[in-house]
Amino acid sequence: MRITNTMMSYNFLGSLNKSLEKTSKIQAQLADGKALHAPSDDPIKVVRSLRFSTSMELNNQYTQNAQDALSWMNTSDDDMQDLSKIMISIKEQVVQASNGTNPQSAVQTIGDAVDNLINQMINIGNSQLGGRYIFAGQNDKTAPFTRSGDIITYNGDNEKISMPIHPGEATPGQDSVNLTGTDVFGPGLKILNDLIDIKNHLKSGTGADQQWLSDTGLAKIDGDHDQMLQSHTTLGSRMSIYEMAKTMLDSSNTVIAGDQASNDSIDVAKGIVDYKNAENVYKTALQIGARIMPMSLVDFLR
């Protein structure tokens, strides 16, 4: 096979270009610290990096769900504490009204106070977070509780709001973050209706009413408060699960980020050595090329 000067020039220029590409590639890696700029850089590492990115994206979504869930449940927890305090206050007022020593007018005044406390409970029941009513179930764009005289209506539903923090289909038992109006005030709003009944006996204020309050009213308050506390306890259990899950998700995020950084980042010390070697190869190639490239008219004129 006959080797011509043109063939030697083309071969040299091809090799020189490859050497320059390698030098440029290492320079780019050192500039931003990333070893991967194209799939061809390292196909195995690129596939691994994509898996890390997918895992991080999914983990970030679960982390955000956990954060949103905790925000929702913390608001619900605060409201449940306030409702519990109001129930205790109502019980204290009823105890005072039912001791048999108060005049009817004093008992009626206590009835007005209890009526105001019922309104406070309804206001708490209509609490919002981010424009959503937290005790309305999934019908959270409508105020769940309205009152007209002694009639209190629940306008929400009993559906659960799910914020998954794990792969798989969401299930209300594991992933629900809300308490519905039924959870808070009992089926048919029993707690609120019992309080309306107690308020009416207070507003009447007769001796018979005071006796009813002592015999029946206080027992209703205790039973209703226990039911409310049970719902509050259920909420607290779910909060603990989400708090632990968020801690684990945060930890997983740190691990995944570290693994991806290790996979994607260049070894700076090795990169510098490789760059110097590539640079030396390129300079040597230039020196050799100066000798094998065809001489030009300028060379002859020298």
Nearest to 94 by CA among 247, 201, 246, 207: 201
Main-chain dihedrals φ then ψ at residue 35, nearest 5 degrees = -85, -20
Classify residue 164 by burial, with Cβ atoms within 10 Å: 0-12, 13-18, 19+: middle
Q: Where are the domains of the chain?
A: 50-261, 268-302
Q: What is the pLDDT of residue 19?
A: 58
Domain with residues 50-261, CATH architecture:
Up-down Bundle (1.20)
What's the rounded Cα separation, in Å, for the pair 158 and 77?
18
b/e per residue, 147-162, with b = 16+ CB within 10 A? eeeeebebebbeebbb
Q: What is the pLDDT of residue 48?
A: 73
Q: What six digits make up the tokens of 118?
A: 């019922």
**pTM (predicted TM-score):** 0.74
Split the chain (302 residues) into runs of 10 and give each run's mean pLDDT.
Answer: 56 58 59 55 66 82 92 96 97 90 90 96 96 94 96 95 79 80 95 97 92 94 96 92 90 78 59 59 60 53 51
- Which residues sit opposite 176 in a β-bridge? 162
